[in-house]
Chain A
Amino acid sequence: MERERICFTLNNSPVEIHCHPGERLVDVLREQLDLTGTKEGCGQGECGACTVLLDGRAVNSCLVLIGQVAERSVLTIEGLAAGGKLDPLQTAFVTEGAVQCGYCTPGMIISAKALLMEKQNPTEAEIKEAIAGNLCRCTGYIKIIKAVQTAASARLEG
Chain B
Amino acid sequence: MQDQVVGSSPVKVDAKDKATGATKYPGDLRVPGMLYGKLLYSPSAHAKIIGIGLADAWQVPGVRAVLTANDVPGHNGHGVIIPHQPVMARDLVRSVNDVLVAVAAETMAAAEEALRKVKIELVELPAVFDATAAMAEGAPLVHPEGNILSHHKIRRGDMAEGWARAAAVVENTYRTQMVDHAFLQTEAALAEIDDGGILVLHVATQYPHWDRKELSRALGMPEDMIRVVGGSVGGAFGGREDMSLQVQAALLAMHTGRPVKIVCTREESFHAHSKRHAMVMHYRTGATGEGRLTAVEATIIGDTGAYASWGTNVLRKAAVHATGPYIVPNVKVDAYAVYTNNPFAGAMRGFGAAQPAVAYEGQMDEVARVLGLHPFAVRWQNAMTEGCITATGQVLESGVGLRATMEKAGSLVGWDVSKING
Does B412 belong to the interface (CB within 8 Å)? no
A101 to B240 Cα, complex, angstroms: 13
Interface flag for B181 (CB, 8 Å): yes
**Is A99 touching B19 in the complex (CB atoms < 8 A)?**
yes
Are B18 and A102 in touch, CB under 8 angstroms? yes
Contacts of A49 in B (CB 8 A): 184
Looking at the assembled complex, report how far the CB atom of B309 sits from the nearest CB atom of chain A, in whole angstroms: 20
B414 in the interface, Cβ–Cβ < 8 Å?
no
Question: Which B-chain residue is minimally distant from A37 (CB atoms)?
Answer: B21
Interchain CB contact under 8 A, A78 and B183? no
How long is the Cα–Cα vector from A102 to B14 in the complex, in angstroms? 9
**Interface residues as binary, A72-113 with B (CB distance below 8 Å gives 1, 0 otherwise):** 000011101100001000100111010111111110010000
- The verdict on A39 contacting B185 (CB below 8 Å), with A94-B11, A99-B12, A137-B235 known, is yes
A-contact 0/1 string along B229-251, CB 8 Å cutoff: 00011111100000000000000
A97→B9 contact, CB < 8 A: yes
Q: Does B376 lie at the interface of the complex (its beta carbon under 8 Å from any beta carbon of A)?
A: no
Cα separation A104 to B183 with both chains bound (whole Å): 10
* A30 and B237 alpha carbons, distance in the complex (Å): 26
Q: How many residues of B contact A (CB 8 A)?
A: 32
Does A17 touch B at the CB level, under 8 Å?
Answer: no
With a cutoff of 8 Å between Cβ atoms, the chain A residues found around residue B233 in the complex are 101
Which listed residue (A90, A93, A94, A101) contacts B234, Cβ 8 A?
A: A101
B116 within 8 A of A: no
State whether A138 and B235 are in contact (beta carbons under 8 Å apart), knowing that A101-B183, A104-B184 are contacts in the complex.
yes
Chain A residue, CB-CB nearest to B107: A31
Assembled-state Cα–Cα distance A39/B25 (Å): 10
State in angstroms the CA–CA spacing of A95 and B11 once bound together: 6
Which residues of A lie under 8 Å from residue B183 when comparing CB positions? 101, 103, 137
| Among listed A40-48, A115-123, A125-133, interface-contacting one | A40-48
Instruction: For A80, list chain B residues within 8 Å (CB).
Output: 20
Q: How large is the interface on A (under 10, 10 to 19, 20 to 34, 35 or more residues)?
A: 35 or more
B124 adjacent to chain A (CB < 8 Å): no
The verdict on A2 contacting chain B, using a C-beta distance below 8 Å, is no
Do B20 and A78 touch (CB < 8 A)? yes
A35 at the interface (CB under 8 A from B): yes
B233 closest partner in A (C-beta): A101
Question: In the complex, what residues of B have CB within 8 A of residue A86's CB?
Answer: 16, 19-20
Contacts of B30 on A, CB cut-off 8 Å?
31, 34
Instruction: Indicate which residue in A76, A105, A136, A137 contacts B19 across the interface (CB closer than 8 Å).
Output: A105
Q: Are B266 and A44 in contact (CB under 8 A)?
A: yes
Q: Which residues on the B side are within 8 Å of A40 (C-beta)? A: 27
| Residue A59, interface by CB 8 Å | no
- B24 contacts the other chain (CB 8 A): yes
Q: How far is the CB of A60 from chain B (nearest CB, A)?
A: 13
A49-B184, A103-B234 known; A38+B21 contact, CB < 8 A = yes
Asked if A36 lies at the interface with its beta carbon under 8 angstroms from chain B, I say: yes
Set B16, B182, B266: member contacting A94, Cβ < 8 A: B16
Residue A135 interfacial (CB < 8 Å): yes
Give every chain B residue within 8 A of A103 (Cβ-Cβ). Answer: 25, 183-185, 234-235
Say if the beta carbon of B411 comes within 8 Å of chain A. no
CA of A90 to CA of B232 in the docked complex: distance in angstroms? 19
CB–CB A37/B22 < 8 A: yes
Choose one: A99, A104, A137; the contact of B15 (CB below 8 Å): A99
**B5 CB to nearest chain A CB (Å):** 14
Interface residue? B186 (CB, 8 A): yes
B16 surroundings in chain A (CB, below 8 A): 86, 90, 94
Alpha-carbon gap, A99 to B22, bound state (A) = 14
Is B172 interfacial (CB-CB < 8 Å)?
no
B177 at the interface (CB under 8 A from A): no
Chain B hits for A34, CB < 8 A: 30
Distance in angstroms from A73 CB to nearest chain B CB is: 18
Q: What are 21 residue pairs bridging A and B, where the CB atoms are less than 8 Å apart in the complex?
A: A31-B30, A37-B21, A37-B22, A39-B184, A39-B185, A39-B234, A40-B27, A41-B185, A47-B184, A81-B20, A86-B16, A86-B19, A101-B183, A101-B233, A102-B232, A103-B185, A103-B234, A105-B19, A106-B19, A137-B184, A138-B184
Given contacts A102-B14, A106-B21, 8 further A-B contacts (CB under 8 A): A34-B30, A36-B27, A80-B20, A94-B19, A99-B15, A101-B235, A103-B234, A106-B19
